[in-house]
Amino acid sequence: MIATLIKIAVLLGGIMTAAAYFVLLERRMAAWVQDRHGPNRVGAPLSLLGLKDLRLFGLGQPAADGLKMIFKEEYMPAHVDKVLYVLAPLVIMAAALAVFAVVPFGSFLPAVPALGIDAQPNLIIAPDLDVGMLYVFALSSIAVYGVILGGWASNNKYSFLGGLRSSAQLIAYELPLGLGILGVVLATGSLKLDAIMHAQASGGWFALLQPLGFLVFVIAAFAEAARLPFDLPECEQELIGGYHTEYAGMKLLLFLIAEFVHMITASFLIVILFFGGWHLPFGLTGPVGENVSDVGWGMGLLRVAVLMGKITLVIMFFMLVRWSWPRFRFDQLMTLAWKVMLPLGMVNLVAVALIHEAGHGTFGTGVAAFANSWISAIITWAVFILSWVVVIYTSPFVADNRPRRDLLEHGIDPQI
């Protein structure tokens, strides 16, 4: 119990601190993309002690932003549903943080008998949960309720439209997200995230073995995180702020932090499911296997560092895409989900299932045959290229963004 509580405290502190400084990193990356200066002034206010202030490359900006939000007035509009209005940010924040109970932050660490730690410390809060992926999906789907509740309880047209967009978008993209994961689950035969990492360490990363599933999962993860070019639920240019238009102070801060935590969660899943987690090729991260009695503290901490490094790179990719791509129209967003991502996810699942069944008799024995067979990798890459070509030639080369002249005035709702 004590070890679990320590893990929870370290996790909450680390996630909240990381979210704050990822905001600073994103603002600096936005400045770099747009060829301007980002936050580089706020540092240590030593002038309060009569000394010269230290800028520290703007590292004090997250603390300044956090204090500003904390000391803002906790204003609640009179026209809102007060219970649901307060419940919405709590639901979305709790769901975003609870996901990390089954996320591994590395492999095992060696026992320390001198400190009374005879068992190997496991870097997972709930290590014995055999349905880790189902748990992640269940809590991720709860987050949409927080957004819908915020939009409904605000009793505001912009917020309500943001809630409607969110419900349609997140539910639509959960389907290709699940199909992208099913190929990995089928190949490894497990729903545990740490078992999936060990399988990739033994046989190869699934980003290389299942490129189509990887592409479907990454695009769906962008949409589930509701970040540009998929930020239709909040869409400042159209909806002012969407579902959190009526929120301020700490309630708004919970919504904003939850958005970043969802991005961090998506990055964890991308790295763990498709990039081998803590694993590096050529034996750079030590022996492979779930029994790490021969792995010392140095190798154990190296695995943690490798996992965190990969996740940081994926998060930076999220940020780069946000400041490089324009926003989709809502009809384009839904068309991509139902007419492109969903069929591609089904194609990937069928291809992996066929290779898995053939592996029992043709390529070897058991699930390991899929991960270790060059033939299966060649087949999946051929399916990926063929699917990509089909999508290109069945989609229009030019998007028609002209206004609809065929709509008559009496065919449009006069209240809009």
CA distance 141 to 91: 11
Burial of 147 (0-12, 13-18, 19+ CB in 10 A): buried
**pLDDT class for 366, splitting at 50, 70, 90?**
very low
Identify the top-confidence range among 118-122, 214-218, 283-287, 403-407.
Answer: 214-218
CB 134 within 8 A of CB 178: no
Summarised one tens digit per residue, pLDDT across range 154-171 is 888 888 888 888 888 888
The mean pLDDT value for 95-114 works out to 76
CB 189 within 8 A of CB 196: no
According to the model, what pLDDT value does residue 363 have?
42
Residue 213 pLDDT more than 90?
yes
Q: Helix (H, G, I), strand (E, B), or coil: what is residue 281?
A: coil
Q: Which residues, 6+ apart, have CB-to-CB distance to 120 below 8 Å?
A: 108, 109, 110, 111, 292, 293
**Threshold 0.75, pTM exceeds:** yes
Residue 119 pLDDT more than 70?
no
Tokens 């000394």 sit at which residue? 51
Please provide the average confidence, as pLDDT, over all residues in the chain: 82
CB 146 within 8 A of CB 86: no
According to the model, what pLDDT value does residue 294 have?
57
With CA atoms as reference, report the closest residue to 381 among 227, 199, 215, 245. Answer: 215
CA distance 356 to 188: 10
CA distance 93 to 368: 38
Identify the helix (H) or strand (E) that includes residue 30: helix 2-33
The mean pLDDT value for 40-65 works out to 83
According to the model, what pLDDT value does residue 243 have?
87
CA distance 59 to 24: 8
CA distance 237 to 327: 10
Pick 356 or 92 by higher pLDDT: 92
The mean pLDDT value for 250-255 works out to 88
Summarised one tens digit per residue, pLDDT across range 69-98 is 888 888 888 888 889 999 999 988 988 888
User: Looking at 172-181, 275-284, 337-346, 400-409, which range is the least confident one?
Assistant: 400-409
